[in-house]
Homo-oligomer: A and B are copies of this chain.
Amino acid sequence: MTLPRLKRSTLGDDVYDSLRAAVLEHTLAPGDRVNIDALARDLEVSPTPVREALARLESEGLVRKRPLAGYTVSPLLTRAEFNDMFDMRLLLECAAARWAAERATPEQRGTLVTEAARTVEGGDEHAWHAAFTALDAHVHDLVAQASASPLLRESITRLHAHLHLHRRYFPYAQTAVTNDEHQLLAAAISDHDPDRAESAMREHLIHARARHLVAFDE
């Protein structure tokens, strides 16, 4: 008998979740100064758990700390850093796709195919874009999870946080193409075909990088 491992949480963790969401949603925009006391007042907690949350966020690179001068939200990636991130994605996620094709459970293959086939319904443009981004992240996480490597999945998740910071500047079009690529990837993994899974992921990421890079042209 396995119980769902009841979740006890602390204020620090709650603040962390809230702050992380705020940064990812651009409620706190890149470059903004983060005032500890003001945040504590807004969230109606003391500064201590806020400091704890910020320390964790800094370790993940979402905020920067300047000693005796306060925290700021990490600035957006430069073109070079963005390319570096995609080099890492290619390295990590191609391996994840390969391992997923080799080691995923039948349930995982099924879920992956189902989720990759999902499409996002109407709503206003902003909400629709947010939903689509969330779905994209979810598909990639399913692959990472199916790779059966906890360390690999964690690394990928960490990268995606930085990717998410840029989503506002991604082009709204071409989402249908993304969806097609996801389905090819899911099919390859479902078919136990590592080579095809890896190359599908590679194609998908290379195309995604090209799609996103236009945002860096002024």
Contact = CB atoms under 8 A, between A and B. Distances in A.
Interface stretch (A7-15, A104-112, A193-201, A205-213): A7-15
B10 A68 contact: yes
Interface string A46-66: 001001110110111000000
A151 B67 CA distance: 23
B59 A149 contact: no
Interface stretch (A21-29, A82-90, A124-132, A178-186): A82-90
A91 interface: yes
B152 A88 contact: yes
A40 interface: no
Contact of A58 (B56, B85, B150): B56
A92 interface: yes
Classify chain A: how many residues form its interface, as a range: 20 to 34
B10 A85 contact: no
Nearest to A162: B151
A161 interface: no
A76 to B, nearest CB: 15
Contacts of A67: 8-10, 13
B51 A84 contact: no
B151 A85 contact: yes
A36 to B, nearest CB: 12
Interface in A70-98: 81, 84-85, 87-88, 91-92, 95
Interface string A151-167: 11001000100000000
Given A52-B55, A59-B56, A91 B84 contact: no
Nearest to A154: B61
Nearest to A9: B67
Nearest to A96: B91
Contacts of A81: 150
Nearest to A91: B95
Contacts of A68: 8, 10
A149 B80 CA distance: 10
